Amino acid sequence: MAPPLLFLVGLRGSGKSTIGQKLSQRLGYAFFDADQVLEQRLGQTIQQIFAQHGEPYFRDWEQTILEELAQPANRVVATGGGVVLRESNRAILKQGFVIWLDAPAEILWQRIQTDTANQQRRPNLTSLGGLAELQQLAQSRRPLYQQVANLCIPVGSVSPDDAVNAILAS
C-alpha cells in the first residue's frame, strides 16, 4: 500500500505534474500541483510573481502552499523545482514519501522547448537562461534532492506511464 502523502520533486521539465496526475489516478489519490495552487491563490503566473515581487516573496508563498498541502490524506503533490532550496521546506517534505524524478539537463531542456505554456509561466532563475541554467541548477540542487528523496526514478528516457509503473513497483 502506498504512503498517504507523496511528494514529487525534480527540476523543471522532469514530469512532476504529468506523472503526478497519472500516479494519483492509479492510486485513487487527490492530486495537487503546488505551483498551480500558488498561481491560483495569487492570481498571477510565477513569472509575473518573480517580476513584480521577487524570488523571496515567491519562496515565502511556496512554503505556505507546501505547508497547506502537506496533509497525510491520500494525496500526490507535484512541487516546484526549487522547493528544496529552503531547509524548512525539506523538513516539510520529509513528512511524506518523496519521489525524485531525475533526468539529464539536456533532455529537460528539450522538453521545456516544446512546452510553450511552461515558457510563458516560468521565469529564468539565473542570468544564464536556457540549457546552461538547467545544468547549473541540476548541479546545485542534486544534493538537496538526494537529501530528501526516499526514491529516485530516472525519467530521462521513459514515458510517464513507465515512470508511474516504476514508482508503484518500488
Q: Which residue has the higher pLDDT, 43 or 118?
A: 43
Q: How far apart are CA 43 and CA 38, in angstroms?
A: 8
Q: What domain count does the chain have?
A: 1
- φ/ψ region of 139 (left if φ > 0, alpha if ψ in -120 to 50, else beta) reads alpha
The yes-or-no verdict on residue 82 having pLDDT over 90 is yes
pTM for the predicted model, two decimal places: 0.90
Q: How far apart are CA 35 and CA 123, in angstroms?
A: 13
Q: Where residue 30 sits, what CATH number does that domain have?
A: 3.40.50.300
- 60 pLDDT tier (thresholds 50, 70, 90): very high
Three cell numbers written together for 144: 538537496
Query: Which amino acid is located at 152 in the chain?
Result: C
The tens digit of pLDDT for each residue in 35-57 reads 999 999 999 998 899 999 999 99
The overall longest dimension of the chain from CA atoms, in Å, is 44
pLDDT of residue 109: 85
- Rg of the chain on CA atoms, in Å: 15
Provide the residue range defining the domain that includes 99. Answer: 5-169
pLDDT of residue 128: 57
